[in-house]
Structure formats: C-alpha cells, structure tokens
C-alpha cells in the first residue's frame, strides 16, 4: 500500500509559558478574484501548531501573547508582521512588539527565531521551517531567599515593573525591550540595602554565557557579591546566585568573617538551624559570640572535602583550653542550585 503525507511547510512553536495568538492576513494573489479570509490560531504555552495549508504563502503573520492579569484585548497584535514567503530569509532573531491600549501601561515584546530543516525532506527538494517564539527576558532567583526584582524602563511614561521571585523560581518578563539597556534593582533581602544592576544593550545572537556582579551592602556597610549569569537563548536569561552558602548545623550561634578581622556581610538576623547564610568570599573564619578571637581563615573552595576546626568557647582561659570541635564539609548544592557550594558545620 502507498501512504501519502500532507504536511505544512511552516510550524509554529510557543516557547513561552503563556498562550500566543497568531493572526494570518492573506494578500491578494495575482489573477485571483477572491481573497482568503483572515484567520487566527492560538497556540498554548509550550505547544506546537502547523500553519494552515493555503496560508503559507501570500500571507503575513502577526501575534500577541495572552498574559495573566491583562484585560482582554488590552494588547494590540505586534506592530511588525512577517511575510511567510520570506520566512527563510528573516533576521535571526526577530523582535515583535505589541502596544498596550491602556494609558500608562507598558507594551510587551516577544522574540522569534526561525530554524529551517532542509535535510529531512531533501529528496523532495522541500524544507520545513519552524518559527519559535520566546519571552524577551527570563529572571531566575537562585539565592537561598525570596527577593524583589524591579525592572526600570527607559521611557519615563511607564512605571517600573516590580515582582517578587521565590527562591529557586524563574519568571518571564515581557515588558523589557531585549534590544535596550537593562537597568534593574534587587531588594527585599533582610539586612541589605537595594542593589542596582545595569546591563548594556547586547546583540540577540547566540553567545557564550557571561558573568557579572551585583554588589549588595548590609547595615554594617559590608559588601556581598551576587553573581549574575547572562545568556542569550535567544531570550535574555539572567540567573542570580551567590557562590557559597554557609549552613550551621551545630545549633550554636556561629559568626562568620571573610578574613578574620571583620564580620561578613549578612542578614540583620542570623538564620536559624539549617538556615542558609549567603557568602561570596572563598575563605572564611568563624567564632562564637562569647569569644572575641576569630579562627584562622581557611579555604571553602574544594568540593568533597571535610575537616575539624577547633574554636574557643570564650575569652576566659578555661574556655580557651576547652574548645568546640566543629566538623566543616564542602558540598555542591543540589538541583537547580548546583552553581553554589555549601559549607556545612556540625559539632564533632
């Protein structure tokens, strides 16, 4: 038996976490008296749909996201449409912008990327193109605590976008133009003042992962470096994390120092048992509040190592000669937090 497969040469793929509505606007074909009607297709979050046969040529396409919390029809279809006849010659990637009809409300952006498969159907001298749509920016909070991220827009007519991202979560931001300078702040961390991060405009083409630093200052004017990892996939992906977590399993109130001379930057209150104290120095000294002398600084860089540290119980001679024995182990944090090393201290 023979099998005939009818397929569309153009596939739509939604790489965002919100539904996308695509609008197809046919053009009048030469020598044809009637024109096909305009149609729309909604592709669910993470979904795939084929462009209807008959709409893959002599047709332009625009789109709009269906965002939670947005009033119905508050966003216009993208200002820029693409001609499906030229889909294999589009700039890579292409930025779509959708205006907001509500006064004072910011519009949104989307990024489109075309991948052309010329191998699968090479015998038929055909191709299949996939138009994938991505959110313009993705923020990942890999700090051990929830934090507030505020994106400030260059156009002063619009209010900044502020959102709380829970520890370990990733949030899509649609209001940031991926071709513009990014200015944002991080706040809501106990004991720290707001920190500001500025990222210059960069090409949207694929590039190696880059790292930058966001500096936070606590109430003692001590500084903590937060790593900002930036990638283009083609979404602008920003991941915020600290190089080290200090986890106190001793049930003693342990204080931390990067050099044995001063307190490390930290929250206004020490974390409770098993709480995570974030840290950016690769060396550390410790002591208990009853003792004024820090331990000798030691490295916390080598994963999989452990050792025993002795620290005095206090300043009195009898307390110095009867120190606490603290076991210190270095691990790599698990799962999505694997960029961070955690130091666990336990009574030996």
For 77-91, give the DSSP string. Answer: PPSS-EEGGGGGGS-
Mean of all residue pLDDT scores within the chain: 86
Look at residue 348 in the predicted model and tell me its pLDDT: 45
* Confidence category of residue 143, pLDDT binned at 50, 70, 90: very high
* 301 has a pLDDT exceeding 70: yes
Handedness of CA 76, 78, 81, 84 (dihedral sign): negative
Tokens of 347: 């009574």
Tokens of 343: 């130091």
Q: CA angle at residue 111 from 242 to 338, to 5 degrees?
A: 20
For strands 324-332 and 341-347, give the pairing. Answer: antiparallel
Tokens of 141: 């909070």
With CA atoms as reference, report the closest residue to 281 among 255, 252, 245, 327.
Answer: 245
Give all strands of the β-sheet with 283-287 in edge-to-edge order.
255-257, 283-287, 298-299
- Over the stretch 80-137, which tens digit does the pLDDT of each residue have? 888 888 888 887 789 999 998 887 788 899 999 998 887 776 666 667 889 999 999 9
- Over the stretch 34-44, which tens digit does the pLDDT of each residue have? 678 889 999 99
Tokens of 267: 């929250």
Alpha-carbon span 330 to 244, nearest angstrom? 10
245 sits in which H/E element: strand 244-248
Give per-residue burial for 73-104: e unless 16+ CB within 10 Å, then b: ebbebbeebbebeebeebeebbbbebbbeeee
Alpha-carbon span 136 to 113, nearest angstrom? 12
Alpha-carbon dihedral 240, 242, 247, 252, rounded to 10 degrees = -120
Alpha-carbon span 77 to 21, nearest angstrom? 9
With CA atoms as reference, report the closest residue to 62 among 46, 38, 79.
Answer: 79
Look at residue 41 in the predicted model and tell me its pLDDT: 93
How many C-beta atoms surround the C-beta of residue 294 within 10 A? 19
* Confidence category of residue 9, pLDDT binned at 50, 70, 90: confident
- Over the stretch 149-179, which tens digit does the pLDDT of each residue have? 999 887 666 778 899 999 999 999 999 888 8
Look at residue 32 in the predicted model and tell me its pLDDT: 66
**Residue 321, C-beta contacts closer than 8 angstroms, at least 6 positions apart:** none
Q: Based on the number of CB atoms within 10 Å of its own CB, is 299 exposed (0-12), middle (13-18) or buried (19 or more)?
A: exposed
Cβ(131)–Cβ(109) under 8 Å? no
- Over the stretch 204-237, which tens digit does the pLDDT of each residue have? 777 788 899 999 998 889 999 999 999 988 899 9
- Over the stretch 70-81, which tens digit does the pLDDT of each residue have? 655 789 999 988
* 256 has a pLDDT exceeding 50: yes
94 sits in which H/E element: strand 94-98
**Among 64-68, 155-159, 165-169, 244-248, the least confident range:** 155-159
Percent of the chain with pLDDT over 70: 91
Query: Which of residues 157 and 293 earns the better pLDDT score?
Result: 293
Query: Which of residues 172 and 317 earns the better pLDDT score?
Result: 172
Alpha-carbon span 96 to 179, nearest angstrom? 11
Q: Is the pTM of this model over 0.95?
A: no
* 16 has a pLDDT exceeding 90: yes
């Amino acid at each position: 038996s023979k099998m005939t497969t009818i397929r569309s040469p153009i596939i739509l793929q939604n790489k965002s976490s919100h539904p996308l509505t695509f609008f197809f606007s046919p053009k009048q074909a030469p020598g044809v008296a009637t024109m096909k009607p305009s149609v729309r297709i909604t592709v669910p979050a993470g979904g795939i749909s084929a462009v209807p046969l008959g709409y893959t040529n002599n047709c332009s396409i625009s789109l709009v996201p269906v965002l939670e919390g947005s009033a119905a029809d508050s966003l216009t279809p993208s200002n820029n449409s693409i001609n499906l006849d030229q889909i294999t010659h589009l700039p890579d990637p292409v930025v779509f912008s959708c205006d907001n009809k509500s006064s004072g409300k910011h519009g949104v952006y989307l990024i489109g990327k075309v991948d052309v498969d010329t191998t699968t159907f090479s015998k038929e001298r055909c191709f299949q193109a996939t138009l994938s749509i991505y959110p313009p920016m993705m923020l990942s909070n890999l700090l051990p605590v929830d934090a507030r991220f505020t994106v400030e827009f260059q156009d002063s007519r619009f209010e900044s976008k502020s959102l709380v991202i829970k520890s370990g979560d990733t949030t899509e931001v649609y209001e940031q133009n991926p071709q513009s300078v990014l200015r944002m702040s991080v706040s809501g961390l106990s004991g720290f003042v707001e920190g500001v991060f500025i990222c210059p405009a960069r090409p949207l083409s694929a590039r190696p992962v880059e790292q930058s630093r966001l500096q936070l200052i606590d109430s003692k004017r001590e500084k903590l470096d937060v790593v900002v990892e930036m990638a283009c996939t083609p979404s602008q992906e920003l991941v915020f994390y600290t190089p080290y977590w200090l986890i106190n399993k001793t049930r003693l109130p342990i204080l931390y120092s990067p050099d044995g001379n001063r307190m490390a930057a930290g929250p206004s209150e020490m974390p409770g048992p098993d709480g995570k104290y974030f840290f950016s120095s690769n060396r550390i000294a410790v002591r208990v509040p009853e003792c004024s002398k820090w331990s000798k600084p030691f490295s916390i860089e080598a994963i999989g190592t452990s050792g025993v540290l002795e620290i005095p119980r206090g300043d009195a001679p009898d307390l110095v000669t009867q120190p606490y024995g603290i076991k210190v182990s270095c691990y790599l944090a698990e799962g999505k937090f694997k960029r961070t090393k955690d130091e666990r201290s336990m009574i030996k």
